[in-house]
Amino acid sequence: MARQHDEHESHGSLKSYVIGFLLSLVLTAIPLVVVLNDLMEGTPAKVLLLGSAVLQFVVQLFYFMHLKEEKKPRYNLMVLLLGIAIVLTIVAGSIWIMTYNKVA
Amino acid sequence: MWDNIKDFASEFFVTGDPLIYGADVAIVLTVVAIVSALTYFKKWKWLWREWLTTVDHKRIGIMYVIASLLMLFRGGVDALLMRTQLAMPELDFLEPEHYNAIFTTHGVIMILFMAMPLMFGLFNLVVPLQIGARDVAYPFLNSVSFWLFFMGAMLFNMSFVIGGSPDAGWLSYPPLSETMFSPGPGQDFYIWGIQISGIGSLMTGINFIVTILKMRAPGMRLMKMPMFTWSTLSSCLTIILAFPILTVTLALLFIDRYLGAHFFTLDGGGNPMMYINLIWMWGHPEVYIVVLPAFGIFSEIVATFSKKRLFGYKSMVFALMSISFFSFFTWAHHFFTMGSGANVNAFFAVTTMLIAIPTGVKVFNWLFTMYRGRLSFPTPMMWTIAFIPCFVVGGMTGVLLSVAPADFQFHNSYFLIAHFHQVLIGGVAFGFFAGLYYWWPKVFGFTLHEGIGKWAFWFWNIGFYVCFMPQYVLGLMGMTRRMNTYGWDRGWWELNLTSTIGGFLMGIGFLFQVWQILHSIKFFKKAPADPWNGRTLEWTIPSPAPLYNFATLPRVSERDPFWEEKQRREKGILPPPPPPLEPIHMPRNSGVPFVMSAFWFVAGFGFVEHWTWMAIAGLVGVAASMMVHSFNYNTDYYIPVDEIKRTEAAAAKGAV
């Protein structure tokens, strides 16, 4: 049984949740506005989309997943970094390998 | 009406093969025997209360071990059927389609339904005891994991009498596994059997990471953990990163098959090579997932039977953890011949060679641990000693295979077959056998007959080399894998016959193990708490461990705490008296995991047979089970001090 009842960590305040929510809304709105109104095209548009997606991910981690408030040792952070490393390997490795394996 | 039923049955069941009819009869007879025995001895309630609903990690571990030994039997029979077919040229023992089905199920069962659950069984039986915990972090989840594995395995196993076995190879490559080439339900049994048990594996991974990080006895810092616990941690870390890839890949394949999508088809923009790429991202880490705990087991055993501290503890930890990370960087060596180009192949060839280094480090650590130790050789140590040369040779042939240009010759040949059987049997199977023999007295409370165990050991080992050494040569002579028959003109039959003889020797070894267990049950010999002069916490408590494991939580200040304490006792320094007993907080049993997993089975079967009503009913049942559990607040209780005292006194009396 995890001793889950005796070590409740702080789970943020109303203010931090509101800030996180607003930031998420803004970061969702930016790419929508840009793409729907044809403000950007091609590579710049892709960079903007990916950039706001990454920022969105960071906002979620800090405001909703409470990554900053974790007590030491920071297992969540460590596993997250490891997970990101593996995900990058999977995506980049697949792109690399599959470049040479096109069907038709 | 009657004709309708007959039509349905001839589609629903597998018909036409006398071997399958034999299996049908055997299954029906076994079920009848079990049901009538349970009814006659009035054991249904006992079965439900003590086993099916248990959340005790020791019982769940025992159920894992029993299930995996049954699967070892099934997978072993598959292997012997194949070896019989190949014993002589041009035999007609198995139809080609039947042969395809058998090599597919042999692979899947041995890896996913034998090695994995045996490993989870050992995690469950040993890890909480080694770290001085009273259960795992999430006992309920643990039970869910087991039952999901069990139901997934049963779903997969019934395919050979109902609907037809999958027959597209153990990794089920498309386009062969797509609907166009495998229209029957076999592939769907494959997908759902693995998916359902895969959820369980993922949850076990999470459970043991949390258990190890959060529930160690006071004073046991990470660098004071026993090596098996370290290997469990590294294996579980690999599980939680690798299994989601498998789940997603098989889900995509299922969407292809069920909804007509084109992820891996040859037309419509699909690409079957993407499947091969994705599945090996799970598949390669998977082999490390199963072998890392074996390394941990060998480390424990070598230290115990050398009466020496493990040589190079820190380098061992580093090797385990680095393997679990670097195992994610070698996957493309499984398809060097797919045509990814020289750069890709060169990169993955080098990473594959690099990962051999930490493994080599471990071999030297074991050898140096034995160097100048006071060695003794009971069965667990014999398996360990047999493992080292076997695994070294298997590893070296692996390095040969990792040379990408040479792999174009070895690829898909019996050389490869011999290589991976050598690392999987010589590493994983020998390791888990060693672990079972080592912890058996602690788990079951009686000792195994050593003499029969030694017979089993020699049959297994001699059988292994007789079986697989010829296969290296056959591979170099050009025999490809998955070949169901060959001509007299090939010049392969002497070596194949030898190999078959070796396979049957291993089968005899297995029978000896079964006899050993039955014999030891009949001539029950109570095991002492510390039969091997052990070093770690699990040997400080009675055999078998009481429900709550530790009456008072141990305090740890060094590695091998029990060994150090025994050394101090010899010098006359007594440990401080244990703190007074307190009521122990324990989790309550629950029937929800069993019921929920049974609903998963129903849902899986519905998806396999394309009976949507059944799939929906099953999923509704799963959701309902979750709701029932969410509103259950009666999940724990306390064992009063009186009862702890009684249990401890009874155990102390039994030990004399």
Co-location of B271 and B394 in the same domain: yes
> Residues B266, B173: one domain?
yes
Shortest Cα distance from B601 to chain A (angstroms)? 28
The answer on B628 and B565 residing in a single domain is: no
Beta bridge partners of B636: B587
> How high is the pLDDT of residue B142?
96
pLDDT of residue B17: 80
CB contact under 8 A, B328 and A96: no
Residue A3 included in any domain: no
**Mutate which of A3, A80, A97 to disrupt the B interface (most B C-beta within 10 Å)?**
A97
Whether B462 and B609 share a structural domain: no
Helical pair B57-86 and B139-157, crossing angle rounded to 10 deg: 20
How far is residue B236's CA from residue B241's CA, in Å, rounded to a whole number?
9
- Residues B120 and B149 sit within 8 Å (Cβ to Cβ): yes
User: Is B574 inside a domain boundary?
Assistant: yes
Buried b (16+ CB within 10 A) or exposed e, B205-232: bbbbbbbbeebbbeebeeebbbbbbbbb
Q: Closest partner residue to A100 among B325, B341, B586, by Cβ? A: B341
CB contact under 8 A, B271 and A93: no
User: What six digits make up the tokens of B146?
Assistant: 């087991």
Q: Where are the beta strands (DSSP E) in B398-507?
A: none
Q: Are residues A16 and A51 in the same domain?
A: yes
In a domain, A83, yes or no: yes
Instruction: Judge: B278–A83 Cβ closer than 8 Å, yes or no.
Output: no
Instruction: Please give the torsion angle defined by the CA atoms of residues B251, B257, B262 and B267, in that order, rounded to the nearest 10 degrees.
Output: 150
Q: What is the mean pLDDT of residues B384-399?
A: 94
Cβ atoms of B123 and B293 closer than 8 Å: yes
| Contact state of A101 with B273 under an 8 Å Cβ cutoff | yes
| Distance separating alpha carbons of residues B533 and B567, to the nearest angstrom | 11
Neighbours of B241 (CB within 10 A): 26
pLDDT at A8: 52
**Which of A1, A75, A90 comes nearest B245 by C-beta?**
A90
Closest-CA distance, A49 to chain B, in angstroms, reads 24
Residues B543 and B630 in one domain: no
Under the banding of pLDDT at 50, 70 and 90, the label for residue A1 is: very low
- Residue A96 forms part of a structural domain: yes
Query: What pLDDT, on a 0 to 100 scale, did the predictor assign at position B654?
Result: 67
The C-alpha atoms of residue B102 and residue B233 are separated, in whole angstroms, by 34
Contact across the interface for B277 and A94, Cβ inside 8 Å: yes
Considering the domain architecture, whether residues B482 and B622 belong to the same structural domain is answered as: no
Q: Do B270 and A102 touch (CB under 8 A)?
A: no
C-alpha dist (Å) from residue B574 to A12, B222, B529, B550: 49, 26, 19, 19
Contact status, residue B150 vs residue B598, Cβ threshold 8 Å: no
If asked whether residues A64 and A77 sit together in one domain, one would say no
Contact: B585, A1; criterion CB under 8 Å: yes
Q: What total number of domains does chain A contain?
A: 2
How do residues A38-97 score in pLDDT, each as one tens digit?
Answer: 888 888 888 898 899 889 988 988 888 887 777 777 888 888 888 899 999 998 999 899
Note whether residue B138 is domain-resident: yes
Whole-number Cα distances in Å, B560 to B161, B172, B303, B578, B608: 50, 45, 10, 19, 50
The residues that bridge with A79 in the sheet, in sequence order, are: none
**Residue B277 near chain A (CB below 8 Å):** yes
Interhelix angle B139-157/B592-609, nearest 10 degrees: 30
| Same-domain pairing of B337 and B206 | yes
Report the mean per-residue pLDDT for chain B. Answer: 93
Q: Is residue B26 part of a domain?
A: no
A2 in any annotated domain:
no
Q: What is the residue whose two structure tokens read 């592939």? A: B187
Q: Is B639 helix (H, G, I), strand (E, B) or coil?
A: strand
Q: Say what percent of chain B tops pLDDT 70.
A: 100
Q: Which residue of B has its CA nearest to A83?
A: B241
A73-82, B219-228, B332-341, B562-571: segment of lowest average pLDDT: A73-82
The H-or-E segment that residue B586 falls in is strand B584-587
Query: Which of B138, B139, B277 is the closest to A97 by Cβ?
Result: B277
B54-69: average pLDDT: 96
Residues A101 and A52 occupy one common structural domain? no
Q: Is B126 on the interface with A (CB under 8 A)?
A: no
Q: A41 or B502, which is more confident?
A: B502
Of A22-26, B590-594, B598-602, B649-653, least confident by mean pLDDT is B649-653
Residue type, B155: L
Burial of B459 from C-beta contacts in 10 A (0-12 / 13-18 / 19+): buried
In this structure, are B603 and B643 located in the same domain? Answer: no
Q: Chain B 256-275, CB below 8 Å of chain A: which residues?
A: 266, 270-274
- Residue B437, pLDDT > 90, answer yes
Encoded tokens for B117:
């659950």
Q: Does B652 contact A at CB distance below 8 Å?
A: no
Same domain, A64 and A17: yes
By CA distance, what is A90's nearest residue in B? B281
- The DSSP-derived string for chain A is ----SS-PPP---HHHHHHHHHHHHHHHHHHHHHHHTT---HHHHHHHHHHHHHHHHHHIIIIIS-STTPPSS-HHHHHHHHHHHHHHHHHHHHHHHHHT----
- B71-118 pLDDT, tens digit each: 999 999 999 999 999 999 999 999 999 999 999 999 999 999 999 999
Pick from A79, A82, A90: CB nearest B281: A90
State the residue range of the domain holding A101.
Answer: 70-104
Cβ <8 Å between B272 and A94: no
Q: Is the pLDDT of residue A6 over 60?
A: no
Same domain flag for B168 and B289 = yes
**Domain match, B106 and B216 both:** yes
Instruction: Read off the pLDDT band of B21 (50, 70, 90).
Output: confident
Strand partners, B526: B446
Determine the distance in angstroms separating the CA of B334 from the nearest CA of chain A, rounded to an integer.
13
Q: What is the mean pLDDT of residues B552-567?
A: 92
Residue at B262: amino acid letter: H
> Residue A18: CB partners within 8 Å, gap ≥ 6?
none
On whether residue B14 sits in a domain, the answer given is no
Specify the residue for token string 């070294």. B392
**Domain extent at residue B547:** 53-590+635-655
CA–CA dist B259, B459 (Å, integer)? 49
A64 shares a domain with A25: yes
Q: Shortest CB distance from A2 goes to which of B137, B328, B331?
A: B137
The DSSP-derived string for B69-132 is: HHHHHHHHHHHHHHHHHHSSTT--SS-HHHHHHHHHHHHHIIIIIIIHHHHHHHHHHHHHHHTT
Tell me: the pLDDT tens digits for B147-177? 999 999 999 999 988 888 999 999 999 999 9
Note whether residue B30 is domain-resident.
Answer: no
Contact B137 A102 (CB under 8 A): no
**Chain A residue with minimal CA distance to B322?**
A82
Q: Which of the four pLDDT bands, split at 50, 70 and 90, describes residue B535? A: very high
pLDDT at A15 over 90: no
Buried b (16+ CB within 10 A) or exposed e, B423-455: bbbbbbbbbbbbbbbbbbbbbbbbbbbeebbbb
Distance CA(A27)–CA(A69), nearest Å, equals: 23
Interface test with A, best of B142, B211, B271 (most A CBs within 10 A): B271
Mean predicted confidence (pLDDT) in B444-459: 95
Q: Which residue has the higher pLDDT, A79 or B191?
A: B191
Would the pLDDT of A7 be above 60? Answer: no
Residue count (chain A): 104
Q: Do residue B96 and residue B207 come from a single domain? A: yes
Contacts of A93 in chain B (CB under 8 A): 281, 331-332
* In a shared domain, residues B477 and B353: yes
Same domain, yes or no: A21 and A62: yes
Q: What is the predicted pLDDT for the residue at B6? A: 85
Q: What is the pLDDT confidence band of residue A9, given thresholds at 50, 70 and 90?
A: low
Query: Do A57 and A74 belong together in one domain?
Result: no
User: Which residue from B197, B179, B180 is spatially nearest to B188, judged by alpha carbons?
Assistant: B179
Q: Which candidate from A1, A86, A96 shows the least CB-CB separation from B587?
A: A1
Please indicate, yes or no, whether residues A36 and A65 belong to a single structural domain of this protein: yes
Q: What are phi and psi of B552, to 5 degrees?
A: -125, 140
Which residues touch B455 (CB under 8 Å, ≥6 apart)? B512
Cβ atoms of residues B201 and B239 within 8 Å: yes
**A49-53, B67-71, B131-135, B468-472, range with the lowest pLDDT:** A49-53
In a domain, A5, yes or no: no
Q: How many domains does chain B have?
A: 2
Chain A hits for B329, Cβ within 8 Å: 89
Residues B612-644: pLDDT tens digits? 999 999 999 999 999 999 999 888 999 999 999
Residue A6 covered by a domain: no
The CATH number assigned to the domain holding B236 equals 1.20.210.10
| Digit-coded pLDDT (tens) for B244-265 | 999 999 999 999 999 999 999 9
Chains A and B form CB pairs within 8 A to the count of: 62
